[in-house]
Structure 1
Amino acid sequence: MRAVVRHFISPDIDLDDFRPEEPADFSFLLQVLVGPSDSEGEESLELIVCTPRALERRVASEGVVFGRPLVIVESPDISRILKAVRGAVERLEAPSWDALCGKLERLGIYEFEDC
């Protein structure tokens, strides 16, 4: 069984027209709606997309930042970011949806994690 990306959503930005004021310093939540390739349905995987500069500011503010669910990028090229996320998700394969969800959790925060 494989995962397939059905939709991308962000409550923070317009994915169709993202132009940050500072292209080297931004961060936003990206929700990836993912489902099994062989049936209907979808569940959410949350990622934080950020630049090294945005991450540096966060570390300076918080002192310690754990890596998951960060996706660290060099530019606000949304098509490149979404293509990379889609590729990472759709390369995942497992014998069951539950096993596949365990792999999704390695990338980001899965909707039913710890349930």
Structure 2
Amino acid sequence: MRAHAEFRWVDLEAGRRIDDPAHACELLEMYVGPQGEPGGERFQLTVCTPSALKEQLGRHPFLIGRHWLFVAELHPDQVTEWLSDRIAVLEAPTWSELAERIGRIGEWEFEDDIDRPMLWPP
């Protein structure tokens, strides 16, 4: 099973623009469902440049980064194209497994390497 994605830049829909692509932080919603089937899930990412992250950290000294995507410059079309490419190559036997992979986008050794025997605890 493979997925199909549609994207929504929440704060940019009202006509607001990104003034400086090198200093931007925007919420992106991805609506992803199985190809050729009804239904799907909403995933949210904060897409942020390093300088905008630094500004955010000045206001909020602790940020949880699990659902953040960092880019050198924020160009919405390039971000959605990149994410579409990543989602298009993911495959799993069930929608639940595929949605779990999409929700992580990247891999994390301890979540994704299920064939490797657990080394801890000894």
| TM-score (normalised: structure 2) | 0.74
Q: Which has the higher contact order (CA 8 A, sep 6+)?
A: 1
Unpaired stretches in structure 2, ≥5 consecutive residues: 107-122
Give the counterpart letter for 1:99 in structure 2: E
The question of 1:33 aligning with 2:31 is answered yes
Provide the residue aligned with 1:2 in structure 2. Answer: 2
Q: Identity percentage over the alignment? A: 31
Q: What is the CA distance between 1:101 and its match in structure 2?
A: 1.4
Question: How many residues were matched structurally?
Answer: 106
Identify which of 71, 76, 82 aligns with 1:78: 76
Contact 2:48-2:74 at 8 Å conserved across structures: no
Q: After TM superposition, give the deviation of residue 103 of structure 1 in Å.
A: 1.0
**AA in 2 matched with 1:10:** W
Superposed displacement of residue 65, structure 1: 2.2
Q: Which amino acid is 2:4 matched to?
A: V
Q: Which amino acid aligns with 2:18?
A: P
Residue 75 of structure 1: how far off its partner (Å): 1.8
Task: Please report how far the alpha carbon of residue 35 of structure 1 lies from its aligned counterpart in structure 2 after TM superposition.
Answer: 0.6
1:96 maps to: 94
CA deviation string 1:46-88 (max 9, x = no partner): 1111111111112232223222211111223222111011112
**1:6-33 deviation digits (Å, cap 9, x = unpaired):** x211220139x77422222111111111
Q: 1:59 aligns with which of 46, 57, 74?
A: 57
Q: Is the 8 A contact 1:69 1:107 kept in 2?
A: no
Q: CA separation in 2, counterparts of 1:18 and 1:90? A: 29
TM-score by length of 1: 0.78
* Unaligned ranges ≥5, structure 1: 109-115
Root-mean-square deviation (Å): 2.2
Conserved in 2, the CA contact under 8 Å of 1:19 and 1:76? Answer: no
Matched, 1:45 2:34: no
